[in-house]
Structure 1
Amino acid sequence: MADVDVLKEVGFDRAPHGIADLRVTELMDLSGKGAVVTGAGGPGLGRAIAHRLAGLGATVIVADRNLEGAEAAAAEVREKWGAEAVAVNCDVTDWDDAHRFIAESAEILGGIDLLVNNVGAGEMRPFIDQDRSAIDSTIALGFIDTVYCSRAVLDHMIPRGSGHIINIAAGAGRSLSPRGAVYGAAKAGVIHFTRNLAYEVGKLGVRVNGVSPGIMLHAGLREVLADNSTEWDYKWRMERIDLDRVSIPEEVANVVAFLASDAASYLSGVTINADGGVAAMG
């Protein structure tokens, strides 16, 4: 009798015992899940994440303040994967609009199983050259949006006793990044927020994890690299990468898809580096 009580005390009866007889590929199935991806209307990581989740069977809300871009991305997802994808306009740096768009998404999906806080742009210039507008924008887009959307979605996940939040951080949040004082601080905040929030809400049925990308060769970065007059210090950055190459957004999106699935059911509060192996400096 005592052994049975101990097993209940440690939550053994709540462990997902059914996964033992399934293939990992079966655990990756997201059919019937409703996912929201912010910043998914552009050409980079958000769109790649929307594609990966839809490819695994999820219904996806493609959220972006650029509604035209979000609609184009949603159309791509529907055509490629035959999955449901709906564009929703939002400004995730605005408290009221973050709550409005999360509520709208929950209504469309019939409940939100997954929120991916992907928005994360910011100024990468010497701190002394940044004015208030640049600093405020970087903090809002690199950190505040994640906090606002997470707070909004918890009003929907906690009553259901389930849900998963995945926050996109950045390598700049863990290591030296020239001209990234504010951006790096914002992303360090995302990593710390992820760990602490996971502790707060894990016992309420909501998991929180993160992914920290390195250098992704999306359309915007290709333009930077093509400009011979750029001051972007790619040689210094490349020397630090174990794999000696940049990534494509889909490689980072693969990690998000793994975290979103039941294959990662016992991960909580972690932020996985998906950066090709970057040597920390400073």
Structure 2
Amino acid sequence: TLSGAKMLFFKHNDMSSLEQMLEKCKGKRTLVCVEGVYSMDGDLVKLPEVIELCEKYNAGSFIDEAHSTLMFGPNGRGVAEHYGLEEKVGVSFGTLSKSFGGVGGFICSNARIIRYLKGYSSPWNFSCSISPPIVAGLMKSLEIATRDSSLRDKLWENTAYLKNHLAEMGLNLGGTESQVIPIIIGSSGELLYTLAAEIQKRGLFLQPVDFPAVPADARRFRISASAQLTKEEMDTTLQIIEDVIVPAVKKK
């Protein structure tokens, strides 16, 4: 990393593993970095437990809200707001390229950390400002998404519709708790790409995700639900998945 910090990794959402790593770092400056919504599994970070351990070991906390901004929390500020822990999180990072539909990103923290980043962050110092038309679009996205909860309500309605029907097909959706819906195929990369090609012939693009982005025995397709999807579009998608993926998975 640019910071030169030593990185230690704990098992996915495993608080015992995290505590073991924190024990190794006692007496050292430590920053625990997590995602709000994990981008490949769709589950949420166990943030209350993470914050509790950070306080116990005097460690800082950093949360990546890339897949949760505008989607979680009463005001769409992400998983930290969802858990009521915004004041406890040291640094919150987000992107403007997903739910906002633009480019760029942002960091939220206390004034001291923000001043430090402005002075010493190479990506900040050597990047150009976002162009005014993109800023205008981002401001409008924020206005629309936060004027009421209708878009978030529709997103969760569509997410539930897709999840329920996919689960009824007997597909492995992992432990998703969000709009990110994995369809786990297994260890065969050949099968994954064969299915992807067949699905595309049917007029649907479904993103295949291969090792090393995910474990070698959990190759998958990944769906990101949207508030813009119509019932007709979702039904067409579900029918293609049922016709192509379900028989292949059951045959294994």
TM-score > 0.5, shorter chain as reference = no
For the pair shown, the structure with the greater C-alpha radius of gyration is: 2
Q: State TM-score, norm by structure 2.
A: 0.31
Q: Which has the higher contact order (CA 8 A, sep 6+)?
A: 1
Q: State TM-score, norm by structure 1.
A: 0.29
The structure with the greater share of residues assigned to helix is 1
